[in-house]
Amino acid sequence: MQTNLRSADHRARRSRRAARGVFAAGCAGLLLGGCMPSPHQSALAQLRARGLLRVVTLNDPTTYYLGAHGPQGFEYRLASAFARQLGVRLQIEPVLDAAAMRAALSRGQADLAAAQISADARWREFGLPTSPYGMVAQLLVQARGRARLRDVTGLTATRLVVRADSPQAAMLRAIRAAGVRLTWSEQPPGAPDPLQLLEAGQADYAVVDADEFDFARHIYPDLSVDFTLPDARPVQWIVRSDGADLAAAADRFIRAAQDSGLLAQIERSSQAETQDFDYLQAHRFRQDIAQRLPQLQGLFQQAASDTGLDWRLIAAVGYQESKWQMQAVSGDGAEGIMMLTADAAERIGVRDRTNLRQNVLGGARYLAEVIRTIPSHVPEPDRTWLALAAYNVGYGHLEDARVLTQKLGKNPDSWADVRQQLPLLAEQQWYDQARRGYARGWEPARFVQQVRQYLAVLEWFDTTPLSMRAAQQLRAALAAPVPRYN
């Protein structure tokens, strides 16, 4: 499952947005979806009558967030598939925290809660758990270079921190009940994230989900895993308490998704931006976000306004091309932030590739033009991933790879399938059959993967100038009261 992280600053903004959104709006959102159908109908019949599956979730990397191509996240993808199977539309609403999700269920404002939940006794008071659709390992995380512990007994008298009202907090209480002397601090919504406290030196250890840390390490490269705790936790949906038939339908869907491979496919899609972690690269990207991006973000946003692309996508491409260095030059003569070639510059009307503004705006126009060359029937985000490959290797070579993909019985409109075949363009038995011949096909595959990783990180930074954001996060961590461990 896909992993990202919650920055404390983002969580604070999310809290304000959620408070203004779902519950301040009252029935304007969820209730207009049909909170008051006939009380004589079952939960499943009610949602089919309204034509809407109402899902409450958290705005988190492993659940739901708005990316460059619209809603993203494992729970969003899974809930979308369930809604399609039921023949209804999906209405997904992010709220502040677990308490807000439970309140939405109890007030009849949601049909189910989906946020990587483990159904403990508290959750069972508010709804019916479905069968687990996955197991998530729990990691003890510490600062890189710290001496490793052997097991949880070594945590006695350390500064251990978790999120409040979380599965990790429940797990620690169970460990303490079993006789292990533990103390820890629980961070409420809006407070600094446990991983942020670790980085600031205000905590020694944190317990987090493995899939969350897969992404978090790109943001916090100086943190590392001490050990994996013995028991993974199940993840489930929680259905409204009067929805036994809906829970049964969800269980059938989950079993079918496991048997058909749909669940595995959704997991792979969610993991795509977290792979191939490189410590030095992640460390540099974080520094460049704070130091280089503030001077360029306005240009990226102007380019986005001109082209209709997401500014974070343009920035991610620029970072992969040049590490946001205007003086960058490639072996084939490409120049600047967006590494424009002379041919590309002439094609889009850029007169001076060494001019920062012309380079960024021109590169964005060229990228938008390449995206338009991809057949319109190809859905997003595959259309953009294919366009990025064409941006890197040329549209002709991409078409050769798509033709080869189709010959091999795969889907030429699927980036996952085309990506597997691109490296074959470097093998004679295959490039002899290609219209444009040999290509270093592994390069566009790697290019797209890197851009996706950078984009995933940037999607979790708001449009606040990032130098200010970094300073705000650091000040918040240093100014926050030292957690009490008791």
Catalytically active residues are 321
Phi then psi for 377, rounded to 5 degrees?
-75, -15
Query: What pairs with residue 161 in β-bridges?
Result: 185, 206
> Distance between CA atoms of 238 and 235, rounded to whole angstroms?
10
State the amino acid at position 272 in one-letter form.
Answer: A
From 322, 342, 326, 325, select the one nearest 334 (Cα to Cα).
342
> What CA–CA distance (Å, rounded) separates 328 from 321?
9
Distance CA 50, CA 90 (A): 11
Angle of helix 293-307 versus helix 356-373 axis, rounded to 10: 40
All residues at 6 or more sequence positions from 15 whose CB lies less than 8 Å from its CB, including other chains: 96, 97, 189, 190
Name the pairing type of β-strands 185-187 and 160-163.
parallel
**CA separation (Å) from 349 to 49, 346, 361, 365, 373?**
54, 5, 11, 10, 18
Q: Which H/E stretch holds residue 213?
A: helix 210-219
- Read off the tokens for 259: 């048997």
Q: Which of 30, 26, 48, 32 is nearest to 243 (CA)?
A: 48
In whole angstroms, how far apart are CA 407 and each of 137, 239, 282, 402, 430?
40, 45, 38, 9, 11
Q: How far apart are CA 405 and CA 45, in angstroms?
A: 43
Judge contact between 172 and 485, C-beta under 8 A. Answer: no
- Signed CA dihedral, 422, 427, 433, 435: sign only: positive
Q: Record the tokens describing residue 429, joined without a space.
A: 């038995």
Query: What is the rounded distance in angstroms from the CA atom of residue 233 to the CA atom of residue 476?
Result: 31
